[in-house]
Amino acid sequence: MGRQPCCDKQGVKRGPWTAEEDKKLISFILTHGRCCWRAVPKLAGLLRCGKSCRLRWTNYLRPDLKRGLLSTAEEQLVIDLHAKLGNRWSKIAAKLPGRTDNEIKNHWNTHIKKKLIKMGIDPATHQPLANSKAAISQSTDTAESAKSSDTREELSTKEGSRTDMALPTDSSDQSSWLESGNSASGQDQERLMMNWLSETDLPMDEPWLNFTSSNDDVLGIVEGPLPWDGATDWLLDYQDFGMSCSNLIDNSTLHSSDGSNF
DNA sequence: AAATACCACAACCGCCAGTAG
DNA sequence: CCTACTGGCGGTTGTGGTATT
């Protein structure tokens, strides 16, 4: 039988995405919706494999993504869900709007795991570790966690007030926020997007022109440092719409062939 | 100031499930 | 039922940035 690789590795670019590649991918998906990922790189003029495009989109470019550290509420939710679901990161991520499985997985491995161990809780079973000595030996094993995680926890506590902005602390607010998907209604989103596109005159074809943002942090969705440089600040405006991709796809001229959801 | 260690997270890899033909 | 193919998932790695020595 044998399985074909997702792409032939020859002539396929790997490694970090450039701002220009991001723009191409976003522009393509905004104008055409999400068709089969295998075809995306060719149609969008990218030297990437489809899988790489899909990952980049779902983990990084999707406009409905929240960025920044997980709030304490989100963190607690992750712990609870992990206790029930285990390492089913995509299922966990589905309960945290604006968060990706990759992001949660990373956060689990780098922060939560250490915290739990330090608290004497086995992150795998969520049961108390056999004894405190084991806990201590394990925690020393995990990156001398006491040394650094203390300071980080302080930091994260401090930053909690900042990151909490992304998730309303009031539970009723939160539920409505969750239901709404932290976004405008579908029609509004589309209208906003089209207005924005016309106003900003975002080039849909190459060459990519300078496009700078003057409005950073409108809805508090975009937080923390973004990996792209100033030349791609336009993404901030783009993300600020908090729009849902599915609406775009539903209304796009080119319908998704697989019909799957985000 | 330079070297080294450590951390966070973006990206990749390999596998699996679903499905069309 | 079988095969080929795609999208998605979870584990792992690579790399850039930051802290420490």
Q: What is the pLDDT along chain A (262 residues), one digit of tens a residue?
A: 333 445 555 677 888 888 888 888 888 888 877 777 888 888 888 888 888 888 888 888 887 787 777 888 888 888 888 888 888 888 888 888 888 888 888 888 888 888 888 888 888 888 887 654 444 444 433 333 333 333 333 333 333 333 333 333 333 333 333 333 333 333 444 444 444 334 333 433 333 333 333 333 333 333 333 334 433 444 444 444 333 333 333 333 333 333 333 3
Q: How far is the CA of A245 from the C1' of C4 (A)?
A: 30
From the number of C-beta atoms within 10 Å of its C-beta (0-12, 13-18, 19+), residue A26 rates as: buried
Q: Which strand B bases fall within 7 angstroms of a protein CB?
A: 6-16
- The confidence score (pLDDT) of residue A248 equals 37
- Side chain identity, residue A226: L
- The confidence score (pLDDT) of residue A230 equals 38
Burial A143-173 (b: 16+ CB within 10 A, else e): eebeeebeebeeebeebbeebebbbbeeeee
- The confidence score (pLDDT) of residue A9 equals 56
A106 touches strand C (CB under 7 A): yes
Structure token digits, residue A40: 């995306």
Q: How far is the CA of A206 from the C1' of B19 (A)?
A: 36
Gyration radius of chain A over CA positions:
21
**Closest alpha carbon to A183 in A65, A49, A48:** A65
A180 touches strand C (CB under 7 A): no
Report the C-alpha gap between A129 and A119 in whole angstroms. Answer: 9
User: Has this prediction a pTM greater than 0.85?
Assistant: no
Nearest residue, CA→C1' of B8: A110
Structure token digits, residue A166: 């992304």
Looking up tokens 């923390």 gives A224
A255 touches strand C (CB under 7 A): no
**Smallest CA–C1' separation from A55: which nucleotide?**
B11
* Count of C-beta atoms within a 10 Å radius of residue A235: 20
- The confidence score (pLDDT) of residue A167 equals 36
Nearest residue, CA→C1' of B14: A5
Q: CB of A212 within 8 A of CB of A230?
A: yes
Looking up tokens 């030349």 gives A231
A87 touches strand C (CB under 7 A): yes
Q: How far is the CA of A259 from the C1' of B18 (A)?
A: 13
Nucleic strand C contacts from chain A, 208-237, CB < 7 Å: none
Does residue A50 sit in helix, strand or coil? helix
Structure token digits, residue A120: 């004497």
Q: Where are the alpha helices (H) located in chain A, listed in sequence order?
A: 19-32, 40-44, 50-56, 72-85, 89-94, 101-107, 113-118, 132-141, 145-163, 171-180, 186-200, 234-240, 245-251
A260 touches strand C (CB under 7 A): yes
Q: CB of A79 within 8 A of CB of A87?
A: no
Instruction: State chain A's mean pLDDT as an integer.
Output: 59
- The confidence score (pLDDT) of residue A245 equals 38
Q: How far is the CA of A257 from the C1' of B1 (A)?
A: 57
* Cα–chain center distance at A113: 20
Q: What is the 3-state secondary structure (H, E, C) of A77-96?
A: HHHHHHHHHCCCHHHHHHCC
- The confidence score (pLDDT) of residue A84 equals 84
Q: How far is the CA of A6 from the C1' of C5 (A)?
A: 10
